[in-house]
Amino acid sequence: MDDIRIAIHDGPNAFKGRWEGRWIEYCQEQAIAYELVDSYGSDIINRLRDFDGYLWHFHFAKPTDQLMARHLLMAAEQMGLAVFPNTATCWHYDDKVAQKYLLEGVGAPLASTYVFYSKEEALDWLREARFPLVRKLRTGAGSYNVQLLKSFSEAKRFCDRAFGRGIPPVPGYFADTATKIKKTRDLSAFWGKLKRMPRRLRHVRLTGRQMAREKGYVLFQEFLPDNSHDIRVAVVGQRAWGFTRGVRDDDFRASGSGRIDYDPAKVPGECVKIAFRVNQALGAQSLACDFARDAAGEFRMLEVSYGYLGRAVHAAPGYWTPELEWCEGHYWPQEAVLVDLLQHIRDSKTARAS
Q: Which residues of 188-224 are buried (b: 16+ CB within 10 A; e: fewer)?
A: eeeeeeeeeeeeeeeebeebbeebebbeebbbbbbbb
Residue type for position 123: L
Tens of pLDDT, residue by residue over 109-139, are 999 999 999 999 999 999 999 999 999 999 9
Per-residue pLDDT, 83: 98
CA angle 77/276/347 to nearest 5° reads 40
Nearest-angstrom CA–CA distance, 70 and 87: 7
Rounded to an integer, what distance in angstroms lies between the CA atom of residue 144 and that of residue 127?
A: 26
Give the pLDDT score at 211.
73
| Ranges in the chain, pLDDT < 50 | 13-17, 173-175, 177-181
- pLDDT at 181 (0 to 100): 43
pLDDT of residue 2: 74
Orientation angle between helical segments 333-353 and 19-29, nearest 10 degrees: 60
Chain segment 244-280, per-residue pLDDT in tens: 999 976 677 766 667 899 999 999 999 999 999 999 9
Cα 12 to Cα 21: distance, rounded to the nearest angstrom: 9
pLDDT the model gives residue 212: 81
What digits encode the pLDDT tens for the residues 154-172?
999 999 999 999 998 876 5
Question: What integer pLDDT is reported at residue 177 of this predicted model?
Answer: 46
- Residue 279 is predicted with a pLDDT of 98
In a 10 Å sphere around its CB, with 0-12 CB exposed, 13-18 middle and 19+ buried, how is residue 154 labelled?
A: middle
Residue 187: the pLDDT is: 66
